[in-house]
Amino acid sequence: MRSEEDLVLTMRAAAGQTRLPPDLASGVAGRRRARRARKRAGAALAAAAVVIVIGGISVGTSGQERTIPPAASPAGQEPAASPSSAIRPATEVWPEAVTRIPATDRPVTALSATEVLLYKDERFEVYDSATGRTRVLGRVPAAPSRVAVGTQDIAWADTKLGLWVLPRQGGQARRVGTAAADVYELAVTDGFLVWSGERPGVYRMPLAGGTPELMPGAGELRLASWPYAHAWDAAGNVTRIVDLETGRSTPVAVPEGADRWQCGPEWCTGLVNERPIVQRVDGSGRRTLPRTFMGYGLWWLLDDRHALYRVYEPDVNKAGVPLAIVYDLATGEMGGVGERTPGVEGGDVGRVQDFPTLFWDAGARFYRHCADRSCEIRTRGGGKEYTVLNVAAIRG
């Protein structure tokens, strides 16, 4: 017979012989990115929109974050720091991209300069700020977990893997087919639905229906923004960009030590030594962003060339500090989103899925609520309207 001591020793001996994987940290970073995508995929849109608003940008809720000085950057690369309160509001910098909608509606994404897609009461609707009216596009028979907007159609995956389309002009929803696994990224083109899931591989299905087909050469890719797909390394850094329409494959110059490396077709951003940097896909044009900029979550690109950064502002009581910065990677133009309540390091900015649309309640004030040794940022006031920034409408 054996004793309890034998059990203890056997477990300890086994523990001592574990093979340690070479890079735990990058594995964890990759997981976190996949988790984020999974969370998005799992929640029905109606619930996700609410969650995203609440869980928007809560900067440094711990109150400790601001005491951490930003990491030093190599000499000569540092642009002049721009004071956080000197950043002009996005509503002034890009008035053409701003719409306002009643706060009773939750936007999904902007469709044009004045139109915003809404999902409510199991219907897709379009709010037009020019007329102040809402028009119903059609009923949604199965709640969407992932939505895509194409030139002709709105498409979605429901929570049970069903794939649907509805004409953008309005009409009847039609079930196209069924995906084999959860849909994380979805696009609708003129002839096809295109998507990818948790594991690499970009699939497509004709809008007329059929079975999912792995796109040629896309077995190791994940759909980014149609027609682009990405290859990632184990840590989730984008290493290659493929145009699925032409088959053109472009390697990404990932800097040594890069973290959360993310790219549009021309520009990339990510962290090097904890500082956000920007460079072209081929590695040229590199610059380290001012100290005011901090990464936000795991993926802060909003579209092919704009990114959303958190604001580093050590003076928590300073007035006129935006909640976040939208930054044009190509031109360096920037605009502040929302405004901090002095004394509170954060607030809510909403974004649904990967749509390049941000919305916030300019009338809201924020406060810290602490209980059970943890704090969160809550909102009071506001509730009248959302300011909606359609990043895709920013163009000179």
Partner 1 sequence: MEEFDEFVRARGDALLRYGYVLAGNSEDAADLVQEALARLGDAWPRVRKKHDPEGYVRTTMVRLHIKSWRRRHREDLVAAVPDHGEPDRYADADLWAELQELPRKQRAVLVLRYYEDLPDHEIAAILGVSRGTVRSQAARALDKLRIIREARVLR
Nearest residue (CB) to partner 1, 29 versus 218: 29
Q: Please count the residues of this chain forming the interface with partner 1, following the rule CB under 8 A.
A: 39
> Is the dihedral angle over the CA atoms 280, 286, 288, 289 positive or is it negative?
negative
Q: Cβ contacts of residue 359 below 8 Å, gap of 6+?
A: 53, 101, 107, 349, 350, 351, 386, 387, 388, 389
| Tokens matching residue 2 | 């054996």
Q: Which of 156, 296 has the CB closer to partner 1? A: 296
The smaller minimum CB distance to partner 1, of residues 32 and 378, is found at 32
Shortest distance (Å) from residue 29 CB to partner 1 = 8
Cross-strand bridge partners of residue 358:
389
Nearest distance from residue 200's CB to partner 1, in Å?
A: 17
Residue 350 and residue 49: Cα distance in Å, rounded?
8
CB of 75 to partner 1, least distance (A): 22
- The answer to whether 56 and 349 are in contact (CB under 8 A) is yes
CA distance 144 to 183: 11
What's the CA gap between 194 and 213, in Å, rounded?
9
- Unique residue bearing structure tokens 């084999």: 180
Least distance between partner 1 and beta carbon 12 (Å): 7
- Residue 7 or 54 with smaller CB distance to partner 1: 7
Least spacing, CB of residue 163 vs partner 1, in Å: 26
Q: What angle do CA 150, 241, 235 make, to 5 degrees?
A: 110
User: Is 371 a binder of partner 1 (CB under 8 A)?
Assistant: no
Question: Interface residues for partner 1 in 31-50 (CB under 8 A)?
Answer: 31-32, 35-36
The pattern of x and - marking residues 4 through 33 that bind partner 1 according to CB under 8 A reads x-xxxxxxxxxxxxxxxx--xx-xx--xx-
Minimum distance of partner 1 from residue 380's CB (angstroms): 21
d(CA 176, CA 156): 10
Among 47, 50, 54, 68, binds partner 1 (CB under 8 A): 68
Residue ranges that bind partner 1, judged by CB under 8 A: 1-4, 6-21, 24-25, 27-28, 31-32, 35-36, 60-62, 64-65, 68, 274, 295, 373-375
